[in-house]
Amino acid sequence: MKVFCGRANPVTGSVEWLEEDEHYDYHQEIARSSYADMLHDKDRNLKYYQGIRAAVSRVKDRGQKALVLDIGTGTGLLSMMAVTAGADFCYAIEVFKPMADAAVKIVEKNGFSDKIKVINKHSTEVTVGLDGDMPCRANILITELFDTELIGEGALPSYEHAHRHLVQENCEAVPHRATVYAQLVESRTMWSWNKLFPIRVQTRLGEQVIVPPLELERCPGAPSVYDIQLSQVSPTDFTALSNVLPMFSVDFSKQVSSSAACHSRQFEPLASGQAQVVLSWWDIEMDPEGKIKCTMAPFWAHSDPQELQWRDHWMQCVYFLPQEEPITQGSAVCLVAHHDDYCVWYSLQRTSPEKKGRVHPVRPVCDCQAHLLWNRPRFGEINDQDRTDQYVQALRTVLKPDSVCLCVSDGSPLCMLAHHLGAEQVFTMESSAASHRLMKKIFKANHLEDKINVIEKRPELLTSADLEGKKVSLLLGEPFFTTSLLPWHNLYFWYVRTAVDQHLGPGAVVMPQAASLYAVVVEFRDLWRVRSPCGNCEGFDVHIMDDMIKRALDFRESKEAEPHPLWEYPCRSLSEAQQILTFDFQQPVPPQPLCAEGSIKLSRPGRSHGVVLWMEYHLTPASTVSTGLLNPAEDKEDCCWNPHCKQAVYFLSTTLDPRAPLGSPHTVSYVVEFHPRTGEVTMDFTLSDALDDGH
């Protein structure tokens, strides 16, 4: 059966109704899930297995039957471990029906159907009793309900309900305990992901400074955690102001509360500085003695960095304090971790909140609009002074004293740069009410409200009256649009340029004048695991899960690239960067498709895991801004990626299986096509000459 799905096209800007298979959402969920990554997490799997064996043994030593409740069973892996360890019976709970169906098949394939009952319900809907899902309460509770923040997937309410209704008092729990750690740091790099810095513009009249409105400076920021691969942040990018502090622990073997709480730790700062950012992670102990531990610590806080397990389903957290605060070495302060049932946030206080009887249970919420419009990488991009300087240099070459500028990007400082550099008149088109309000605030703080005209309209509705009867001589864009996920989604700028064509004067300049789609073949250090088949996991056959992911990918995503911030995922290039397509913004969008067919020569040995694609914007003939590679790739060095943008990764499925022979392919052939009607970029990359003589 087919269903109609409405979606906003990020490239053309139009709202489309597409006919999709009724299982489209399910395929999306599976294809983009972390199931493969979890199955490849050997450290996690081994520690769970050890903890489960120990828990079953403790119950058996008491002369009891081992009855297991496994909440969030996924593939059924932990239940199969429990039965193998001697459990008498397992109740495996899985709310996602396609996953529950797969678990039934995997359990059957491995010969455990007589000992494992898969229940397709949310755990809070499971019943106990003669006519219930479980005849009696379990005495071993096994769960994997955690996300990077530990509690973001609803672990606390699920545990709270399970202890009240589904498990025996003083049951065994795997994991037994979790502890959340935090480290207070000063970091201009990370703080730039949260606050708007002054923007400096060198003009012929001297330096002009664009300052953030007071409302932005006072705003506590977005309430959500920023989860990243913290081991990819260089220790030189921050100054530690505290040691690693254990903030709070949760004992999963006892009644758990999901009520809001706060936990404070007093410490003496290691150095004087500006307290700005809290880095956080957690570990889980699989046994009561804490001998079996699985930690998310980044390499600089890991007890054995050589044994660091890479994983993407659990990362580390970056939290921003509501305001930066000066602290002094030797003068004690309190770091306070607050949490409700799903979220954690931090504050800094001079004395313990328990002593003062003052607790701030309400988590901070953005009230300035900026954190709703710009994500963390976008803040970093706007705060990148080198990038701003590049746009300023390019603008100087195209601006004239009588220039009438129209800026098209979401909440962009470009219009202010154009004004300060001497444009006669500047208009900025803001397509959303949020960006319109935000830019008005920034203009007012810089006394520009009468100097820059904000047009809150879709480009196709622009009239000559909106431009005060003038023709545009300079059309500007970074381009940046909040709806963009993949690099080429910002080609929306081209569609805007086409829509406003009638308003461009003779000889009008468009900046950027063109864009190019680039590609490079890479070998990932670790990211390949998220799309790699597992086959056998700790002795259990999970091919059914591999096949399920493959079918979901084949449904559509196998021919699509997916966005990843590659500064977090080290890789090295196996080819030179190659230009695939060029888009000429000086001309309107053409009616016919743009197609490129060719091959990328592999010049370095390695396993070709995927092709990375990005856009480069040619501001002027002498100035290009890259959203991908920042430097030419060296032979053995990791690629250096633009940290403010996500790049597109097209995985080459034939090389993702680690059991496949390495081979020596010579080239990657490609067919890439841009479809003007829909704005889609379709692609197919294939390894050629897959095997050399004797390999």
153 given a catalytic annotation: yes
Cα distances from 294 to residues 46, 50, 51, 308, 505, in angstroms, run 9, 11, 11, 10, 64
Residues pairing with 537 in the sheet: 540
Candidates 94, 144, 160, 430; catalytic one? 144
Q: How far apart are CA 295 and CA 150, in angstroms?
A: 12
Burial status of residue 193 (CB atoms within 10 A of its CB: 0-12, 13-18, 19 or more): buried
Query: In the chain, count of helices (H) and strands (E)?
Result: 16, 36
**Is the backbone peptide bond immediately before 175 cis, with ω within 30 degrees of 0?**
yes
478 given a catalytic annotation: no
What DSSP string runs through 535-571?
-EETTEE-HHHHHHHHHHHHHTGGGS-EEE-GGGS-E
Burial status of residue 605 (CB atoms within 10 A of its CB: 0-12, 13-18, 19 or more): exposed
Start-to-end C-alpha separation, the chain:
46
| C-beta of residue 348 within 8 angstroms of C-beta of residue 323 | no
| C-beta of residue 602 within 8 angstroms of C-beta of residue 655 | no
For residue 460, count other CB atoms closer than 10 A to its CB: 12
- Report residue 459 CA to chain centroid gap: 30
Burial status of residue 198 (CB atoms within 10 A of its CB: 0-12, 13-18, 19 or more): exposed
For residue 389, count other CB atoms closer than 10 A to its CB: 13
| C-beta of residue 655 within 8 angstroms of C-beta of residue 685 | no
Tokens 């499971």 map to which residue? 126
Q: How far apart are CA 260 and CA 340, in angstroms?
A: 4
Q: How far apart are CA 84 and CA 557, in angstroms?
A: 36
Output DSSP code: residue 22.
T
Residues pairing with 542 in the sheet: none
Structure token digits, residue 660: 């496949």
For residue 207, count other CB atoms closer than 10 A to its CB: 9
Radius of gyration for the alpha carbons in the chain, expressed in angstroms and rounded: 28
Interior angle at CA 143, CA 139 and CA 144, nearest 5: 170
Output DSSP code: residue 128.
B
* Residue at 32: amino acid letter: R
The values of phi and psi at residue 84, to 5°, are -60, -35
| C-beta of residue 584 within 8 angstroms of C-beta of residue 498 | no
Q: How far apart are CA 118 and CA 431, in angstroms?
A: 49
Candidates 20, 29, 108, 153; catalytic one? 153
Residues pairing with 6 in the sheet: 17
**Which residue in 407, 370, 508 sits closest to 416, CA to CA?**
407
What DSSP string runs through 619-672?
EETTEEEESSBSSPPPSSSPP-B-TTSPEEEEE-GGG--TTS------EEEEEE
For residue 97, count other CB atoms closer than 10 A to its CB: 11
**Which residue in 379, 409, 427 sits closest to 479, CA to CA?**
409
Residues pairing with 280 in the sheet: 182, 317
Which residues are designated catalytic? 144, 153
